[in-house]
Structure 1
Amino acid sequence: MAKTILVLGGYGNFGKRISESLAKHADVCLLVAGRNLEKANDLCKKLRAENYAADLKPVALDIFSENFAQELKNLSPFLVIHTSGPFQGQDYRVPQACIDAGAHYIDLADDRRFVCDITKLDVQARSKNLLVVSGASSVPGLSSVVIDEITPQFSRMDEIDIAIAPGNRAERGEATVKAILSYTGHPIKIFENGQWINKYGWMSARRLDFGKVVGKRWLANVDVPDLELFPARYPSVKRVNFQAGLELSFLHWGMVGMAWLAKYKLVRNWSPVVKPIVAASNWFIGLGTDIGGMRVKIVGIDHQQKPLELVWQLTATHGVGPYIPTLSAIILAEQLISGENKDSGAKPCLGLYKLEDFKTHAERWGIYYQLFNKGEEQPLG
């Protein structure tokens, strides 16, 4: 029998990419869900016209409706993939409803509290033999997989530094921008020199080289689950840093200025004005490039007790960068569909698949990565 997969926000920036990937499976009944039935239907029509194999059905579903839990149960999904951000401020009504309906659950959450505290549902998920995963995205889904792959080369890891730099022409979702704005200029707890300190969202600007294809990009502080999860997962580490940036310098520094205004309480919160901010940024969508990158640097000691600094560097060209945050969810979904993944419980997406799994999917979109030994300045593979 075909397994019913429901994608919440299935026609959105990330949801449509997940829907597109899972629609290739003939043994899937794919429910493209969201508040706008017309948009869901348009995507289903588009995928049918392109001869995708799955049984495609549009569904009107509002996660904030009083009837959401019952409506979800009536659909009897095997798996629900939640892409309807921003996750900042959301409670666990969606994963709870999935557990009650007997459905596996995966989300693309980037909110620190939402992802880190998903374990509150662990006992319930295990009691029904269901897998509930939060943060199946670039972070901490992919970032943890990369670090787990590199870890065996170290006898001790001291520092983890992660950076993401999307191209200006890459499609941007309003929910993602709203999430960033919610903590712009607000304190973020960061593990540095073995202790927790406060830094501020979209401040501490620096410029980092992502290689000859991506080039140098400006970065600033971003609040992600990794900042809290990785000090516990990798106990020897004394510093965990995460930053992201905008390709166009004037937009990036505009955000830094907005962070300054929020830090000194001249503006309380920028997220309520997300629509005009996104609209203004779209005026410049034709500038810059559609090239993005991701960089994971680990500093520590090798097994000969010598200093070691490895850098994993990913490059995405031709506007395919927005596929990267979707691949963790797609990989886990396909493993559940095939029966390969029999895991259960509620957990953050930490090391739940292999880097080789990511490579298989990424190469289809022309997304490539290399590992560099900074001491030798040459790729290791």
Structure 2
Amino acid sequence: MSKVVIILGGYGNFGKRIAESLSHHDITLLIAGRSEAKAQQCIAQLQSQSCAVLKPWQVDIHADDFTERLAAQNPFMVIHTSGPYQGQNYTVPQACIASGAHYIDLADDRRYVCDISTLDGAASTKGVLIVSGASSVPGLSSAVIDKYSTVFKSIQSIDIAIAPGNQAQRGVATIAAILTYTGHPFEVFKEGRWQSIYGWMDAKSHDFEGIAKHRLLANVDVPDLALFPKRYAVAERVSFQAGLELPLLHWGMVGMAALAKWGIVKNWSPLAKQLDKLSNYFLRFGSDIGAMEVSISGMEDGDKQRKVTWRLYAPNGQGPYIPTLSTIIIAKKLLSGTLDITGALPCSGLVELSEFEPYFKTFEIYQKTQLED
């Protein structure tokens, strides 16, 4: 009997990409969500090239009987892509532990990812792996830093930036997640101490070089900001910024952040659907080029200053595949039995940068590394 893999939100922006990759395996793949019609539509698109048995599963993760319904499916693994994760509790991973199923999510919420370790004891007892944040951050970002941190005797700063192309698919859940902290304070490690900054403020222009060129950036709250100062013993700063390619949309977000900071608007996230529709009017402008950058500065042996800048470029609208790759790699390792870790943890140190490279090649995504003394 084939292993049952469930993708919650399997027909969504990220879920359908994960389903596409896993459908080439000899498994039973359940495309799950609240709309059976959308699940069936996704299955119809995958069916012709699928080795998996594809099935729809209409389910609501917020329903009172979710844990019982999940257990009835006897899953080997559950992949949770149904964001936004801001404000979600651990009903889904706890249900997976109760069912004896592995769990992976693409969460970008700082507390959701960092606090997943509270489930470590229960997950270890059940012999399952519970991974949160298997996405661009901290999944890919930590893989980059793990590779290049060996260059340094000590790390002074880590600066991370992501700039999607305007024509790339974004999804309502992603927009809603960003809006929850737009104009609201959060803690960052800056100037050697923890300080408060505001979401989607401190806007600036940044040169990604190459095909991405100059992009606007602003403050974004991600798990890396909480995890990396301790994980890499950073002395001065860990920063993370992201931005919108079109200046009109970017500065509009900065203005919304200011209104929230001043208390004029309490929370923008209820308007996520409307803002998504509004942004769609601008899809023909800008480009389909996304970029990501991780810059590490510190001291190497002999107390010599060193800086490593890693950049990733995603042309042709392939950027939305990047957040799915950590999840896909971990899922395939679990299916093949090559990953035998148990417990609950954020997605740091589970995937090496070299494991991403075959996928980069498939999607014509490429990376460059620059070393500076």
TM-score (norm. length: structure 1): 0.97
DSSP 3-state at the match of 2:18: helix
Extract structure 1 runs of 4+ deviating beyond 2 A.
none
Kindly provide the amino acid, as one letter, of the partner of residue 76 in structure 1: N
Q: Counterpart in 2 of 1:273?
A: 271
Q: Displacement of 1:63 after TM fit? A: 0.2
Q: Counterpart in 2 of 1:231?
A: 229
Kindly provide the amino acid, as one letter, of the partner of residue 53 in structure 1: C
Kept in 1: contact 2:161–2:242 (CA 8 A): yes
Aligned partners of 2:369, 2:182: CA distance in 1, in Å?
A: 32
Question: Superposition pairs for residues 162-241 of structure 1, below 5 Å?
Answer: 162-241=160-239
- Establish whether residue 243 from structure 1 lines up as the match of residue 241 from structure 2: yes
Q: Counterpart in 2 of 1:11?
A: 11
CA RMSD of aligned residues (A): 0.8
Q: Displacement of 1:147 after TM fit? A: 0.2
Which deviations, in whole Å up to 9, do the C-alpha atoms of 1:170-220 show, x marking residues without a partner? 001100000000100000101011111000000001111111201100000
Kept in 1: contact 2:330–2:351 (CA 8 A): yes
Q: Counterpart in 2 of 1:2?
A: 2
Q: Counterpart in 2 of 1:259?
A: 257
Q: Displacement of 1:233 after TM fit? A: 0.4
Aligned partners of 1:238, 1:70: CA distance in 2, in Å?
A: 48
Q: Displacement of 1:146 after TM fit? A: 0.4
- Establish whether residue 32 from structure 1 lines up as the match of residue 31 from structure 2: yes
Question: Superposition pairs for residues 92-171 of structure 1, below 5 Å?
Answer: 92-171=90-169
Kept in 2: contact 1:34–1:60 (CA 8 A): yes
Q: Counterpart in 2 of 1:57?
A: 55
Kept in 1: contact 2:154–2:233 (CA 8 A): no
Kept in 2: contact 1:185–1:263 (CA 8 A): yes
Q: Counterpart in 1 of 2:40?
A: 41
DSSP 3-state at the match of 2:159: strand
Aligned partners of 2:62, 2:215: CA distance in 1, in Å?
A: 38
DSSP 3-state at the match of 1:370: strand
Aligned partners of 2:234, 2:205: CA distance in 1, in Å?
A: 27
DSSP 3-state at the match of 2:51: coil
Q: Counterpart in 1 of 2:65?
A: 67
Which deviations, in whole Å up to 9, do the C-alpha atoms of 1:49-98 show, x marking residues without a partner? 3x211111111011001111111000011000000000000000000000
Kindly provide the amino acid, as one letter, of the partner of residue 197 in structure 2: K
Aligned residues: 373
Aligned partners of 2:7, 2:255: CA distance in 1, in Å?
A: 37
Aligned partners of 1:128, 1:155: CA distance in 2, in Å?
A: 39
TM-score (norm. length: structure 2): 0.99
Q: Displacement of 1:31 after TM fit? A: 0.5
Any gaps of 5 or more consecutive residues in structure 2?
none
Q: Which residue, 300, 303, 314 being the options, matches 2:301?
A: 303
Q: Counterpart in 2 of 1:378?
A: none
- Establish whether residue 23 from structure 1 lines up as the match of residue 23 from structure 2: yes
Any gaps of 5 or more consecutive residues in structure 1?
376-381
Aligned partners of 2:302, 2:164: CA distance in 1, in Å?
A: 37
Kept in 2: contact 1:148–1:351 (CA 8 A): yes
Aligned partners of 1:60, 1:295: CA distance in 2, in Å?
A: 38
Aligned partners of 1:54, 1:139: CA distance in 2, in Å?
A: 29
Aligned partners of 1:304, 1:170: CA distance in 2, in Å?
A: 45
Aligned partners of 2:101, 2:273: CA distance in 1, in Å?
A: 34
Q: Counterpart in 2 of 1:379?
A: none
DSSP 3-state at the match of 1:117: helix
Q: Displacement of 1:237 after TM fit? A: 3.2
Aligned partners of 1:236, 1:209: CA distance in 2, in Å?
A: 24
Q: Displacement of 1:360 after TM fit? A: 1.5
DSSP 3-state at the match of 1:179: helix
- Same amino acid, percent of matched pairs: 55
Kept in 1: contact 2:31–2:55 (CA 8 A): yes
Kept in 1: contact 2:228–2:234 (CA 8 A): no
Kept in 1: contact 2:204–2:217 (CA 8 A): yes
Aligned partners of 2:284, 2:65: CA distance in 1, in Å?
A: 42
